[in-house]
Amino acid sequence: MKFGVNYTPRVGWFHHWVDFDAAEVARDFDTIAELGVDHVRVFPLWPIFQPNATFVSPTALGHLETVIDLAAERDLQVAVDGLQGHLSSFDFLPAWLATWHRRNMFTDPDVIAATSMFLETLARVAGAHENVFALTVGNEVNQFSGGVHPDPFPATPTQTDAWLDATLGALRRGAPDLQIMHACYDASWYENTQPFTLEQVARRGDVTVTHSWVFNGTAQRFGPDAFETRAHARYLIEVARAFQTDPQRPIWAQELGAPRNVLPSSSIRPFIDETIGQLADAPDLTGITWWCSHDVSRALGEYPPLEYDLGLIDENGAIKDEGRWVAEAVAVARDTTPRTDRPVLELRYDELGGRSALAPEGSFFADYMELARTAGHPRIDLVRDPNSSVW
């Protein structure tokens, strides 16, 4: 099982792509390496990397290659995300998608062509480095497709499927030998109207990716110390697996963290221990990547308060208690042998009305957690009419 961190540069956050300082990245990676991790996930900013539809910045690509090389020098593997897109409440969209040039990022053919050109270029450049192991279309691209977004690009599942064909295809062309994937936040698990579906999450690309954030209603509903809160990351793994068609397909807990807006200080360590412990008990989980490496500097303004404290390393570069706890929990997890005898729970998806039943307030969530608490995390057996209109 891989263990890594989502890399949030200590100085300048992701704005470091412009104010790039290789020495700072090297220092960050030195500290990250002390956590015992084997990889980092890194995040280009889309408007910096592709400021014009036909132009990918050689300077930004060069900085990315420097980041990758600095990781290699510390035996760190690298996963690269393409379209950011959305990060910590901020949406970074290039000017060629905004106002006068606004077109639907998921459905406009010219936008899809331009996006694919960028992703193929990024994959080719990143994929030429031996320590790059994974490419993700973008961080939580479904942030832009609807739900609560104030200005979404609407799409149907058929359209998002075509968009995944194009964007995953672009990554594949650029880096034929790497693991490619896409990433959605859990609205694709829990909201019936999300155009990125759970099938797409579970079946498109080479790896299924989960992002577990217990501020999604779980911690609020059940409390910071509840079984449900600490079991949520594992639950997503089981739900994702239920929707897979290949039982051996890799699943990666690509993002999870301990958000202070719903977890008081006293709850952090048990949350970390139990969340990671339960993940480690999941058969064939291929990786855990904590969000995030470094706290956001308090000198940077206007983040939601919770975003400042998610780091395993503080804004001065010192490893936090959270960093030690996560590292210790992962060390324990690496010695864990997942249970093989476990209960089975049917998910009668169509009858339950689709994804809303899986949400923290849903009936399936409740049934799952009751069984998991008493008999261990079940394997979910998906029962589904292939002709159902429920998606």
* Binding window for a copy of itself (CB under 8 A); candidates: 65-73, 123-131, 145-153, 192-200: 145-153
Q: How many CB atoms lie within 10 A of CB 388?
A: 11
Task: Give φ, ψ of 79 to 5 degrees.
Answer: -110, 135
Nearer to a copy of itself, 59 or 261 (CB): 59
Query: Which two structure tokens, joined as six digits, stand for 82?
Result: 């393409």
Nearer to a copy of itself, 54 or 193 (CB): 54
**Tokens 């399936």 found at:** 364
Tell me the site size for a copy of itself, rule CB under 8 A: 38
Residue window 48-77: x/- pattern of binding to a copy of itself, with contact defined by CB under 8 A: x--xxxxx-xxxx-----------------
Nearer to a copy of itself, 1 or 61 (CB): 61
* Binding window for a copy of itself (CB under 8 A); candidates: 148-156, 246-254, 287-295, 366-374: 148-156
Where b means 16+ CB within 10 Å and e means fewer, 345-373 reads: bebebeebebbbbbbbebebbebbbebbe
**Residue 18 beta carbon to a copy of itself: minimum distance, rounded to whole angstroms:** 5
Asked whether 13 and 296 are in contact (CB, 8 A), the reply is yes
Nearer to a copy of itself, 19 or 361 (CB): 19
Query: CA 383, 254, 341, 197: dihedral to nearest 10 degrees?
Result: 0
Spell out the residues 6+ positions from residue 91 whose beta carbon is closer than 8 angstroms to its own. Answer: 85, 143, 144
Q: Is 141 in the site for a copy of itself (CB under 8 A)?
A: no
Q: Is 18 in the site for a copy of itself (CB under 8 A)?
A: yes
Q: Is 250 in the site for a copy of itself (CB under 8 A)?
A: no
**Tokens 């209109």 found at:** 389
**Residues found near a copy of itself in the complex (CB under 8 A):** 12-13, 15, 18-20, 47-48, 51-55, 57-60, 89-93, 95-96, 98-102, 110, 114, 149-151, 299-302
